[in-house]
Amino acid sequence: MTGGLEVCETRRGAFHYFPFDGVIGQSLKIYGEWAEAEIEFLRQFVPPGSTVIDAGANIGTLTAAFSEFVGPAGRVIAIEASPEISDVLRLNVGGAAFGNVTVVAAALGGAPGEAQLPQIPSSAWSNVGGMRMGLSTPLAGVRTPVITLNSVETDAAALLKLDLEGAEVEVLAAASSTLDRMKPVVACEMNELDAGIEVIRLLRALGYRAYFASFASYNPNNFNGAPNGFGFAREASLIFIPPGHPIPWQTTGTNLQSFVTTADLARLLAEMPRYGDATAYDRIADRLVEERKYRDEQIAQLVAENHQLRTTVAASLQRQRDAILRIITGKDARLHATMAALEAAEARISTLAERIADLTLDRSSLG
């Protein structure tokens, strides 16, 4: 361990992580990777030589991949609000093969200023990447500067990845001119429907097409070859494609769907499997109704088969009883006939004995 951190070998080299981080940290430790399905999907938007803005970079799992994708002629701007996490981010991308990552230790917001973040716990099991900042709020914690997307020093960006724990709306609302000028593909983590709807409204006004993408948390081809501990869980993002950009294609582990209404989006988000679900369709109402109907039909069939089996067994037992009774009855009849014959024979013997006795007596009297 280095300074309270642990280090493990991953798909993209040695990575430092917080040992108490129960999400990204544990995934790196067990699988040697995190969010690989999402990374492979986003690769199509990151050509060599391009620029990527990774806002909410955390400890750099996606940043390191983007660094590989853009190559020596490209650039990755990794923005992380937490000073503690950004220090770990620097450790992880400082040795990036192309030296093309710029780390910005600041929070993205709607206006320049200052924010406070909660202190990272030193031992409690937690989701380090899920911390929310308080803008100009008297919260105890770590202070960090707030910058806007307009102030990021780049003239172009092929991809803007946002994982800002709810701050996406205000960041994008203050950067419409930058977005209109750069026209990057925007990948926005989606945890709350209301925030997602506001982001959609903002970007559709700029001509963006919206897609819902969910990514399998478990990669069967993970770096360490570890068995599935995620179950059927998936992570959700909104993907926004600028005017004139090709339609995105779906990759392994990704479920990509376009949608029209907020009701469509609500259904897609509600039906996405989460951690602990027993099947991949635990939350799909229509599928559950079909599954219930199918199971009811199976139960009815089993009940009918059970009834038929009981009837067949009962009939077979009755036939066996009847056969045994016939055998017993036949044997009883033969026994009775034999007994009667014996009784008749004994009667004849008795009669003969009496005659013999009479003849003997008569002979004696003649003598």
CATH 3.40.50.1240 for domain 6-283: no
User: Cα–Cα distances in Å, from 319 out to 315, 326, 327, 331?
Assistant: 6, 10, 12, 18
pLDDT at residue 134, as a whole number:
47
112-153 pLDDT tens trace: 999 888 777 665 555 565 454 444 444 457 889 999 999 998
pLDDT at 165 over 90: no
**Domain boundaries in the chain?**
6-283, 285-367
Q: According to the model, what pLDDT value does residue 137 have?
A: 43
Per-residue pLDDT at 247: 94
Q: What is the pLDDT of residues 262-319, one digit of tens each?
A: 999 999 999 999 988 988 888 887 655 555 565 567 777 777 787 787 888 788 888 8
C-beta separation of 362 from 354 below 8 A: no
Supply the pLDDT for residue 123: 57
Name the residue with higher pLDDT: 315 or 55. Answer: 55
Tell me, rounded to whole angstroms, the distance of Cα 330 from its chain centroid.
Answer: 71
pLDDT digits (tens, 9 = 90+) for 187-245: 999 878 888 899 999 999 999 999 999 999 999 999 999 999 999 999 999 999 999 99
What pLDDT is recorded for position 240? 97
**pLDDT tens string 92-108:** 998 766 789 999 999 99
Over 70: is that where the pLDDT of 6 sits?
yes
